[in-house]
Amino acid sequence: NAGVMQNPRHLVRRRGQEARLRCSPMKGHSHVYWYRQLPEEGLKFMVYLQKENIIDESGMPKERFSAEFPKEGPSILRIQQVVRGDSAAYFCASSPGRDKTPLHFGNGTRLTVT
Amino acid sequence: DAKTTQPNSMESNEEEPVHLPCNHSTISGTDYIHWYRQLPSQGPEYVIHGLTSNVNNRMASLAIAEDRKSSTLILHRATLRDAAVYYCIPGGNDMRFGAGTRLTVKP
């Protein structure tokens, strides 16, 4: 049973380009969470999605960032017009349900903006 | 949202038990208490969770206060590989992480 798969593991983008981060949840999991971790800082919640629906995006910056979790395929975190401050590790987690079930995390995508 | 208070850092000697405390005084009655840890350069990993009763698994034990306003994660014999940041999260919709406790294990 494969775990949460994130790709790419490392992504380098120039300022102004777009970054697309993919997350394939564990089989049978319909809930996905995205987190951002700046160097030497803690995990910051960004968005919580259930298949085709955004449940909570209160941690997402209002501009340039968007997330989706389509009926088919992985969840995508999209960052438009990246800036140096977007350089961070982005982690995705999945679970089969809310609250009671543990989250399973991927190994993250490390985004570097040059 | 329930807020948590954890010590910023703790130290332990190898092979000794470690008790990692967490205060979550505003936890709601139906929220499970989750513990995760993050090893250096890795994603967080689930450690244990519980609601009211104490819980044990192969990684750790979780002791939950009777009033549920605090809990303690117990590593029975710390190893160097247990050095990590440990997060206590009263579960809810958002599963927000606090700053956690950085555990250092000395040989």
Residue recorded with tokens 């750790």: B60
Neighbours of A37 (CB within 10 A): 19
Share of chain B above pLDDT 90, in %: 71
Cross-strand pairs, B37: B45, B86
Question: Do B93 and A99 touch, CB atoms closer than 8 A?
Answer: yes
Nearest to A106 among B43, B46, B91 (CB): B43
B96–A45 C-beta distance less than 8 A? yes
Q: pLDDT grade, residue B92 (50/70/90)? A: low
A91–B96 C-beta distance less than 8 A? no
**Most B-contacting residue of A55, A99, A100, A110 (CB-CB within 10 A), to test interface:** A99
Neighbours of A22 (CB within 10 A): 16
Tell me what pLDDT residue B1 has.
53
Tell me what pLDDT residue B73 has.
97
State both tokens at A10: 């490392």
Q: Name the minimum distance, in Å, from the CA of A93 to any CA of chain B.
A: 9
**Is the per-residue pLDDT at B2 higher than 60?**
no
Return phi, psi of residue A84, to 5°.
Answer: -60, -35
Longest dimension (CA), chain B: 40
Q: pLDDT grade, residue B93 (50/70/90)? A: low
Q: Name the minimum distance, in Å, from the CA of A44 to any CA of chain B.
A: 7
Tell me what pLDDT residue B19 has.
98
Q: Which residues on chain A are in Cβ contact (under 8 Å) with B36?
A: 103
B96–A56 C-beta distance less than 8 A? no
Report, as ranges of residue numbers, the positions in chain A whose pLDDT lies below 50: none
The helix/strand/coil state of B81 is: helix
Question: Do B88 and B31 touch, CB atoms closer than 8 A?
Answer: no
CA–CA dist A99, A76 (Å, integer) = 22
Tell me what pLDDT residue A96 has.
87
State both tokens at B76: 């029975």
Q: pLDDT grade, residue B68 (50/70/90)? A: very high
Q: pLDDT grade, residue B91 (50/70/90)? A: confident
One-letter amino acid for residue B70 of the chain: S
CA–CA dist B27, B89 (Å, integer) = 10
**In this predicted model, what pLDDT tens digit does every residue of A89-107 receive, in sequence order?**
999 999 987 666 788 999 9
One-letter amino acid for residue B45 of the chain: E
Tell me what pLDDT residue B30 has.
82
Tell me what pLDDT residue A102 has.
85
Tell me what pLDDT residue B47 has.
95
CA–CA dist A41, A36 (Å, integer) = 9
| DSSP H or E segment with residue B21 | strand B18-23
What integer best gives the mean pLDDT of chain B? Answer: 91
Tell me what pLDDT residue B94 has.
65
Tell me what pLDDT residue B10 has.
97
Q: Name the minimum distance, in Å, from the CA of B74 to any CA of chain A.
A: 18
Question: Do A50 and A69 touch, CB atoms closer than 8 A?
Answer: yes
